[in-house]
Amino acid sequence: MADLKVHNSLTRQKEVFVPLIPGRVGMYVCGPTVSGESHLGHARPFITFDVVYRYLMHLGYTVRYVRNITDAGHFEEEGREAEDKISKKAVLEKLQPMELVQKYTNLFHWAMRKFGNLEPSIEPTATGHIVEQIDMIRQILDAGYAYVANGSVYFDVEKYNHDYKEKGQPYGILSGRILEELEDSGRELDNQDEKRNKVDFALWKNAPPEHIMRWSSPWGEGFPGWHIECSAMSTKYLGERFDIHGGGMDLQFPHHECEIAQSTVCNHEMPARYWIHNNMITINGRKMGKSYNNVIKLTELFSGNHPLLEQAYSPMTIRFFILQTHYRSTLDFGNEALKAAEKGLRRLWEAYEVLKRLPAPAGSASDAELDAKVNELLDGMDEFMSDDFNTAKTLANLFELAPVVNGIRDKHVGADALSRETFDRLQRYFKTYLEDIFGLQDEKGGDNQVLEGVLQLLIDLRKDARGKKDYATSDKIRTQLLELGVLLKDEKDGSVSITFT
């Protein structure tokens, strides 16, 4: 199998993926801030990295996938450290902050399940790791890269940049930003008077009296800055150096840049080797944002209950729509594109269902040319996925294979056109890619799958009973299934066919 190549944001090029420990991968992905309902913008990173996770496992890696929950009540809004949303809203809605956190965490998990995302190996919360964060802040202070001001602790970006520039790791290494330019920009940031430099960021914030979420620390009561949680939790669960750090492109700066600076001071090296960032979603060509009134919550998307939506879109339609574009390209969200995705998914799934039921050909291929073409398309799928997870091109090959399958069904293509080997491979690839790697599911078939499994179990039990000449039991199974409208018929070749009457 071809080497896996990934685009590394840090080096700005595609690189062959080599894990630190052979056979194992540590992957950290920045999770949601649970101060509100997840929206469409959250769908892309978590679906993207779910497929990365699945593909790494498909390649045989043992993966520890860590995705955090930001619940400690400190948030950034477009690079600006905003006021504490959780506490503010909590007063407004007369709820405990943790009640809100729980509610939105549950909603987030519900949406992830709907999308068919696998659960990460560890999902640590910021509030559950205050001790680790305080410990890391203390290390940064001890190393001389932070200072205390009025009960808050700030990271000294200039000193870091000065010292680490010489070591080839200036502040801005990931995002390509230059510190001097950031300092010259006219943007006013909060707590300006406390900071030595306006680019300095908070590691710990002193909590004003009305702030509900607060913890004791060596610097007084307060709460951690946003960036420190990811440094603390990635170090704890993946080590000082790990393989992959992922997230949306909007997190590159300042969040990931700050993570790199913090972790480097504590652990003396760049935390992750490969930085992978997915591009953003636009809506009808516009950036998503409250000011455009185009933020679509996931619940609205699934119900169609939003002025921009012409209909409801199922979670699998959205998943498929996202996978039809390479993760590094922007993705424009609109009704036409979504309806096309809905149709496309149905077409592929129908071909998959047909393929499952086609009888396998006997032996060698009667159409060598077609047989070779099918194999070429299947080889291409592995190559595309190993080329920086190109789900778009992989799906395009599946679309080219669908007419071959339908052709056999409709008898335009001979039942023996493909060799047995190629046919089996085709079946295997449809299943592996659609279900195991892309995580797509038959949405109407959730119950059918269970039913199929239960029926197979009963057929097996009946066979066992007959084997033991326990005809009372085998007849009971057959009769009672018939009463439920399921007819079992014993075929000559020993198999059992099922008919719903």
Q: Rule CB under 5 A: which residues touch Zn ion?
A: 30, 230
Question: At its nearest, how many Å lie between Zn ion and the CB of residue 50?
Answer: 17
Nearer to Zn ion, 248 or 361 (CB): 248
Nearer to Zn ion, 30 or 296 (CB): 30
Question: At its nearest, how many Å lie between Zn ion and the CB of residue 245?
Answer: 8
Question: At its nearest, how many Å lie between Zn ion and the CB of residue 53?
Answer: 17
Region of 332 (left: φ > 0; alpha: ψ -120 to 50; beta: rest) is beta
Rounded distance between C-alpha atoms, residue 31 and residue 71, angstroms: 10
Question: At its nearest, how many Å lie between Zn ion and the CB of residue 450?
Answer: 37
Rounded distance between C-alpha atoms, residue 297 and residue 401, angstroms: 35
Question: At its nearest, how many Å lie between Zn ion and the CB of residue 30?
Answer: 3
**Token pair recorded at residue 322:** 């996202």
Nearer to Zn ion, 137 or 230 (CB): 230
Region of 168 (left: φ > 0; alpha: ψ -120 to 50; beta: rest) is left
Question: At its nearest, how many Å lie between Zn ion and the CB of residue 57?
Answer: 23
Nearer to Zn ion, 6 or 30 (CB): 30
Question: At its nearest, how many Å lie between Zn ion and the CB of residue 438?
Answer: 26
Give the helix/strand (H/E) hosting 447: helix 446-467
Rounded distance between C-alpha atoms, residue 133 and residue 231, angstroms: 8
Question: At its nearest, how many Å lie between Zn ion and the CB of residue 389?
Answer: 20
Rg of the chain in Å (alpha carbons)? 27
Q: 146-149 and 152-155: which strand pairing?
A: antiparallel
Rounded distance between C-alpha atoms, residue 286 and residue 197, angstroms: 34
Question: At its nearest, how many Å lie between Zn ion and the CB of residue 139?
Answer: 19
For the stretch 335-369, what's the b/e string if a residue is b when 16 or more beta carbons lie within 10 angstroms of its beta carbon?
eeebeebbebbeebbebbebbeeeeebeeebbbee
Nearer to Zn ion, 129 or 478 (CB): 129
Rounded distance between C-alpha atoms, residue 178 and residue 97, angstroms: 38
Nearer to Zn ion, 30 or 153 (CB): 30
**Token pair recorded at residue 435:** 């279900």
The answer to whether the beta carbons of residues 28 and 66 sit under 8 Å apart is: yes
Residue from 240, 245, 242 nearest 267 by CA: 240
Nearer to Zn ion, 274 or 430 (CB): 274
Nearer to Zn ion, 206 or 252 (CB): 252
HEC sequence for 72-110: CCCCEECCEECCCHHHHHHHHHCCCHHHHHHHHHHHHHH
Question: At its nearest, how many Å lie between Zn ion and the CB of residue 68?
Answer: 7
> In angstroms, how far is CA 121 from the centroid of its own chain?
13
| C-beta atoms surrounding 32 within 10 Å | 23
Question: At its nearest, how many Å lie between Zn ion and the CB of residue 276?
Answer: 13
Q: 222-224 and 242-248: which strand pairing?
A: unpaired
For the chain, the straight-line distance linking the first and the last C-alpha, in angstroms and rounded, comes to: 47
Residue from 419, 359, 429 nearest 398 by CA: 429
Question: At its nearest, how many Å lie between Zn ion and the CB of residue 191?
Answer: 21
Nearer to Zn ion, 56 or 230 (CB): 230
The answer to whether the beta carbons of residues 167 and 233 sit under 8 Å apart is: no
HEC sequence for 5-24: EEEECCCCEEEECCCCECCE
Nearer to Zn ion, 161 or 231 (CB): 231
Residue from 251, 234, 228 nearest 64 by CA: 234
Region of 354 (left: φ > 0; alpha: ψ -120 to 50; beta: rest) is alpha
Question: At its nearest, how many Å lie between Zn ion and the CB of residue 476?
Answer: 58
Nearer to Zn ion, 30 or 281 (CB): 30
Nearer to Zn ion, 232 or 323 (CB): 232
Nearer to Zn ion, 105 or 394 (CB): 105
- Helical H segments across 286-334, by residue range: 298-303, 315-323
Q: 496-500 and 486-490: which strand pairing?
A: antiparallel
Residue 3 is given by DSSP the state P
